[in-house]
Chains A and B, each alone.
Chain A
Amino acid sequence: MKKKKGLYKVPVYLYMLVLAVCALLPFYMMIVMGTHYSEDLYTGVKLTFGKYFKENFQTVMRQDFPLYYWNSIVVAVCHVTGALIVSTLTGYAFAKFEFKGKKVLFAVIIATLAIPEQLGLIGYVLEMRWLGLNNTLFPMIVFGMASAFGVFWMRQYIESSVPDEIIESGRVDGCKEFGIFFRLILPIIRPALITLFLLFFLWSWNNYMMPLVMISKEELYTIPLSIAKISSEYRTDYAARILALSMGTIPILILFAFGSKHLIRGLVAGSVKG
C-alpha cells in the first residue's frame, strides 16, 4: 500500500521539477548573460558566468542608469501610495457605509474593469499635453490611481474580515471616524494592504507602454524604456542591457521574496467569491 502511494507521486514530482526548471532557466540565463562580452552571446550557449561583469556594469553606469532607476522608484512609490489610499478609502466606504446610489456606483466601478487601459490612451496623451504635464513623471504616477481592481479588492476584504462590532465599539468609546479608520481598521486589513502594495508596485515598475508613448525626454526615462538605449560607443551592448535588466529586477525580487507569503494570504482571504 505504502509503496503504491509513493509510486504515483513520481509524475507529480517530475512535473514540479520540470516546471521549476522552466521557470528558473530564463532567469538564470539573464543573470549569466549579463556577465559576458556582448558579442560572445551570439557565438554559443552561455551557461556559466563570464568575466565581463565589471565592464558591463561600468557601461550601464555610464548611461545615467541610476537616474532611470530613481525615476522608476519615484513613479512606483508615488503611484502605489496614492492608489493604496484611494482604494482603501473607497473600499471601506462601499463595505461599511450606507449612502445614496451605493449599489449603482459600485456597479459602475465594476463595469470599468472591462475597459482596456489603451482605450483612452490617445485622449490621455493629449490631455497631459494641454496641461503641460507631458514630459513629467506625473502622467505615469496618476494613471490608474483610481483603480477599480483596488476598490473591488478592498471592499471584498473589508466586508469579509472587519466585523461591524469593532467599528461600533470604536464609536461608543468616543473614537473619531479617522481614529477608527487608522487605529482599528488599518491593522486588520494589513494583509490586503500588503497584497495590493505588491501588485500595484509590480504593475507600475514593469509598465512599458505608458512611458513609451508619454516620455520623450531622456532624463525622465524609467527602467523599461532605458534598456533599449544602453549601448557602448559604436555598438549596441546586449550584455550590458541584460545586466541592467537583472539590476532592474532586483527590487521586485526582494519585495516578493519577503512579501509572497502575505501576497497569497491576502489573496486567499479576499478571494473572489462571487
Chain B
Amino acid sequence: MIAPYFILYIAFGLFPVLFSLGISFTSWDGIGNAAFVGLENYKRVFVQDEFFYKSLWNTAILLGISAPIQIILGLLTAVFLKDFFRRMKNGLQLINFLPYITTPVAIGIIFQLMFDWKSGVVNAVLELLHMDSVYWLGNAWASRAVVIIMIVWKNYGYMMIMFLSGLAAIPDELYEAAKIDGAKWWSRFTRITIPMLRPIFVFVIITSVINGFKLFDEPQLLFSSASQPIGGPDRAVMTVVMRYYESAFRSFEFGYGSALAYCLFMVIAAITLLLFCGIRGRKEK
C-alpha cells in the first residue's frame, strides 16, 4: 500500500535531489562532458558571488517584513470572523481566500499595472490624498514594498484558514467559563485564544519561513516585461531562487546552480532547526 508512494518518491523526488548533489561538484552545462571540480562551486557561492549574499539579504528582508504582517492579518481576520461575523462567515472566508487562489502570473501583471508610475490606481489614490506619487517600480525600496504587499496580499487568506482551523479546535467551554468570570474580549483573546493556538503558530511560522526562502514567482513576474531589469531596480528584489534560476536555466551553469540550491537548502535547514530549538526551549521553561 505504501509502495506507490515510495517508488514515486525515489524515482522522481529523491533521485533528482541526489543527482543534483552530484552535479553540484561538477562544472556542467548538461550537454557536454561534466568536469569534476570538487568544492569549487561552493567556494564560488560563498566567496566570489556577491549576488548570492545580496539575494539572501533581499530574501531575508522580504520574508522578515512580510511574514509577521501576513500572520497577524490572518490571525485577526480569523478571530474576527469567528467572533463577529457568524452569519457572513462563508462569504467573507471566500473573499479573503481569493488572493491565495489567483495565479501568480496574474498577480504579477495586475500589480505591475496597479503600481504603474503614471496610470496606476495606487498613485491615483495617493494623488487624491494630496500625496506625492511614487515611482514604485523604479526605486529599490519602493519595489521591495510592492513585492511585500504582493506576498502579504496573496498569503494572509491562507494564514486565516490555518488559524480558523485552529480556532475550531478550541473548546467553547473555555470561553463560556471566561465570560462567566467576567473576562473581556481582549483578555479572552490574549489569555485563551493565543496560548491555545500555539501549535498553529509553530506550524504557520515554520511554513512561512520555508516558503519565504523559496520566493520566486511574485518578484520574477513583477518585473517580467522586457523593458525591466532582472530582479528590479538595483536587483533589490532578486531572491535566492531567482539567482538560482538565472544561473541554472539562463546561463546553463548546472553545476553552479545545483550548488546554489544546496546552499539555500542549508540556510533553510539551519533556520528551521534554530526555530525548532527556540520553540522547544521556550516550552520547557
Chain A interfacial positions (CB closer than 8 Å to B): 8-9, 12-13, 15-16, 19-20, 22-27, 29-30, 33, 41-45, 47, 85-87, 89-90, 92-94, 97, 105, 109, 112, 114-127, 129, 142-143, 145-146, 151, 202, 205-206, 208-209, 212-213, 223-224, 227-228, 236, 238, 241-242, 245-246, 248-249, 252-253, 256-257, 260-261, 263-264, 267-268, 271-274
- For residue B80, CB closer than 8 A to chain A, the reply is yes
A-B contact pairs, 24 of them (CB 8 A): A13-B84, A16-B77, A16-B80, A22-B153, A23-B99, A26-B153, A33-B110, A33-B113, A85-B4, A119-B261, A122-B20, A122-B258, A123-B18, A123-B19, A124-B12, A124-B16, A126-B254, A209-B216, A238-B109, A242-B106, A245-B106, A249-B106, A261-B90, A274-B199
Looking across the interface, which residue of chain B has its beta carbon closest to that of A26?
B110
Chain B interfacial positions (CB closer than 8 Å to A): 1-2, 4-6, 8-9, 12-20, 22-23, 30, 73, 76-77, 80, 84-85, 90, 92-99, 101-107, 109-111, 113-114, 116, 118-121, 124, 153, 157, 161-162, 164-166, 168-169, 185, 199-200, 203, 210, 213-214, 216-217, 221, 224-225, 241, 244-245, 248-249, 254, 257-258, 261-262, 264-265, 268-269, 272
Looking across the interface, which residue of chain A has its beta carbon closest to that of B94?
A260
Q: Given known contacts A16-B92, A26-B110, is B2 in contact with A122 (CB within 8 Å)?
A: no
CB neighbours of B162 from chain A (8 A): 267, 272
Question: A228–B93 Cα gap in the complex (Å)?
Answer: 31
Looking across the interface, which residue of chain B has its beta carbon closest to that of A41?
B113
CB neighbours of B94 from chain A (8 A): 256-257, 260
Cβ–Cβ contact A90 & B1, under 8 A: yes
Cβ–Cβ contact A24 & B106, under 8 A: no
A13, A43, A120: the one within 8 Å of B17 (CB): A120
B13, B161, B269: the one within 8 Å of A112 (CB): B13
B118, B153, B213, B257: the one within 8 Å of A23 (CB): B153
Question: A122–B14 Cα gap in the complex (Å)?
Answer: 12
10 additional A-B pairs beyond A117-B214, A122-B16, beta carbons within 8 Å, are A90-B4, A119-B17, A120-B14, A120-B20, A122-B23, A213-B249, A249-B101, A256-B98, A264-B165, A268-B164
